[in-house]
Structure 1
Amino acid sequence: MYWDAKIVKPLPDYRLYVEIEDGRRGVFDMKPYLDRGVFRELRDEHYFNQVGILFGAVTWPHEQDIAPETLIEEMVPVDAMPDNALQADASS
């Protein structure tokens, strides 16, 4: 579908770079979710960096996921980000 995630990359500080099928790109901040239920496991940076996509949703190996609608609603468009905000974590 046009709102599905097609690319996801982990960034420093528990953020995700996301590209949506319709061409939108942005950064999604996972920090507000890290103290909630199944998302607590994502506080482990090694595990957080195992992020991927399954059926258009951003997912992790133990079945945590973020729905595409949530990504679109809460991500900050890349155009609104400072130039250095997308630098990848050197440890990944």
Structure 2
Amino acid sequence: MFIHVTNVQYLDGYRLQLHFNNGVEGVVDLEPELYGEVFEPLRDQQVFRQVALTSRTIEWPNGADFAPEFLLSLAQKPEHVAA
């Protein structure tokens, strides 16, 4: 099964509520991942809030995106799994 993000909701800071096509949902905190040329602009929370859903994953206006499989791995960590 190919993993897709099916819904994204901005929560606060650098946290997003994500839903996946395999039924998993969870909160991910992306602050530790926001480094490097493409992701550094997302440290501006006004820019980070502009997250949008694409056909498979989430993306920002500057083209930054994360692989859905990576996001799923973050969402499935015990401290991130939605109750």
TM-score (norm 2): 0.85
Q: Which runs of 5+ in 1 are unaligned?
A: 80-92
Q: Following the alignment from structure 2 to structure 1, what is the Cα–Cα distance between the partners of residues 15 and 36?
A: 16
TM-score (norm 1): 0.78
Aligned length: 79
1:66 has 2:66 as partner: yes
User: Secondary structure at the residue paired with 1:47?
Assistant: helix
Paired position in structure 1 for 2:12: 12
Instruction: Summarize deviations over 1:33-69 as a string: whole Å, max 9, x none.
Output: 1233311111111111110111211111111001110
Q: Following the alignment from structure 1 to structure 2, what is the Cα–Cα distance between the partners of residues 18 and 51?
A: 11
Paired position in structure 2 for 1:47: 47
Q: Which runs of 5+ in 2 are unaligned?
A: none
Runs of at least 4 residues of structure 1 off by over 4 A? none
Give the structure with the higher percent helix: 1
Two-structure CA RMSD over aligned residues (Å)? 1.4
